[in-house]
Structure formats: C-alpha cells, structure tokens
Amino acid sequence: MTALVTPFRDGAVDEEALRAHVSWQIENGTQGLVPVGTTGESPTLSHAEHKRVVEICIDEAKGRVPVIAGAGSNCTAEAVELARHAEAAGADAVLVVTPYYNKPTQEGLYEHFKAVNDAIGIPIVIYNIPPRSVVDMSVATMARLYELPNIVGVKDATANLARVSQQRHAMGPDFIQLSGEDMTALAYNAAGGHGCISVVSNVAPRLCAELQGRSLEGDLAGALAVQDRLVPLHDAIFLEPGLAGAKAGLALLGRGTEEVRLPLRPVTEPTKAAIRAAMVHAGLINA
C-alpha cells in the first residue's frame, strides 16, 4: 500500500496530477492507497484540502483497491471529524496516528482511539510512530483497543522487529500488521506481518508490489533479489524527509514536481544525485 504524496503546483493541490498518480499506482500493482498521511503533507493541508484529497483519491480509485484515509490529529475532536468525513466520502478504512506533541498517557491514547472508534463504522488502523509522535503505544494498550469493533490493525513504524512477534502473540494472527518502514518491510513480513504502507512505492510501485507479493507467498529468495535492487533507494529517499525524497524521485520519472510546503524544502542536490543513482541501480531510469 502506498502512502501517497500530495502533488502541488504553484502552492495549490494539483488535482490532475493526484488523479494520474493514483491510477499509475494501481496500474503498477499497488494494492491499497493511503492519502493524507504524513507523506501526504497532512500537517500543512487545510481541512478543506485534506478532505478534497481524500475525495479525489476515492473517486479516482473507483473501487479498484482499498483507500485507507489518513484521519490523524493530536486533537481528538479533529480526528473524529476527519474520520467521519472519510467514512462519508466512501473510504474503506482510516489511518489514525498516535497524538503527537501532547505526549498522552496510555489511558489517553486508549480514550483517543476509542472516541474515533465510537464515531464511525469503518475499520481503523492504528499508526504507531514514536520517532514522530514522541509517544509509543504499548502492546497492552493495543490489545485493549483490539477488543473494540472497528480497530483492525496497526501501521507499525517503531522499526522494532520484536514488536511484530509481541503484537502477534497479544492480538493473534488476524490482527493486521503493516510495516511503516520500507527498509525493514521484508523482515517484518517474515516475522508475521501482512504488508507495508510504503513511501518508496510512490516511486517504485511495481518493484515494491513484487517484493511484498513474493515475501507474502514465502518466496524469500525472490523477495531478497528485489530487496537488493531497492536497498539504495530505501536509503536515498530518506536522507532528507521521505516525502521530499519521493517527490524528487517522481520528478526524475517525469511524474510530478518537487514542490513541497514549508517548513519542508525540496531535497538538496547531493541527495537528489543519490536518489538518481539509486533509481538507476533499481532499473527505474537509465544511467
């Protein structure tokens, strides 16, 4: 599944480019779309823009793949509002990040997610990313939340592979575990994960889909061969903020601009050169 970038042109959301990106992703094997997460620059989108991006993504996907709409906020009322909009717009599920900056307790985390659960009737994927939100949802809290009717899984960006096994032990094999980190996505699946919400697949959707497909089918040798092609790109895209790296890669493919919103900036020339070299290594562009 791809954590979609939000294309901009002259400061505004580029709706035509977003539609083209959605269709290109689906045509190249992406099995799910995640608009307006962090990679979609949700912190710098207005509420109206956020909702419009969700609507465009759902409309362009046309039911071909699931859409898991970002609905995260460090304000519970705002998260509820965004989740309700996503449901009304036709999203298949929502992705809700652990509240950032506030540093809530585990009980506060539970009540935040319960409020979203109680407000909607579609599945909720917890997004646990301690490096960004500063708080780590415990396995015990996740297990409590899994007892609620709409909590179905986690996007796990802890980069701690032990968590896959611990969460599987606590919640069972039906709890959906999606890696939130490209470099360790293969190992995540090997430990019991069910897939990845990927940034790199913005640029390399077919390769990332092949990596996931082979790993989930048990073809470790085939998955490793794809991983070997992708490792430099996994590194290069995250030398600076990953969404800026992804936009640089898309620009090299002729599939978008590098425009991002402040306080982010387009990647520097050395990083762009590293991304280009990694794309050549992966076979995405010619030397």
List, for residues 21-58, the tens digit of each pLDDT value.
999 999 999 999 999 999 999 999 999 999 999 999 99
| Contact call for residues 121 and 91 (beta carbons, < 8 A) | no
Cβ burial of 71 (10 Å; 0-12, 13-18, 19+) is: buried
Residue 268 predicted with pLDDT over 90: yes
pLDDT given at position 18? 98
pLDDT band at 287 (very low <50, low <70, confident <90, very high): confident
Mean pLDDT of 51-79: 98
How far is it, in rounded angstroms, from Cα 221 to Cα 239? 28
The pLDDT value given to residue 218 = 95
How high is the mean pLDDT of the chain?
98
Residue 117, helix vs strand vs coil: helix
pLDDT digits (tens, 9 = 90+) for 211-225: 999 999 999 999 999
Q: Which of 110, 127, 146, 188 is catalytic?
A: 127
Q: What gap in Å lies between CA 124 and CA 5, rounded to an integer?
A: 21
| Runs of H (alpha helix) within the chain | 15-27, 47-61, 76-89, 106-119, 130-133, 139-146, 162-171, 185-190, 205-216, 220-237, 242-252, 269-282
Q: What does the pLDDT read at residue 157?
A: 97
Report the percentage of the chain scoring pLDDT > 70.
Answer: 100
pLDDT score recorded for residue 126: 98
DSSP 100: P
Of 51, 155, 247, 272, which is the active-site residue?
Answer: 155
Rounded to an integer, what distance in angstroms lies between the CA atom of residue 244 and that of residue 240? 7
- 127 catalytic per annotation: yes
Distance CA 6, CA 250 (A): 12
Dump pLDDT digits (tens) for 182-209.
999 999 999 999 999 999 999 999 999 9
- pLDDT band with cut points at 50, 70 and 90 for residue 59: very high
Decide if pLDDT at 65 tops 90: yes
Q: Stretch 94-114: mean pLDDT, rounded?
A: 98
User: Each residue of 129-170: pLDDT tens digit?
Assistant: 999 999 999 999 999 999 999 999 999 999 999 999 999 999
Catalytic: 146? no
Report the pLDDT averaged over residues 107-130: 98
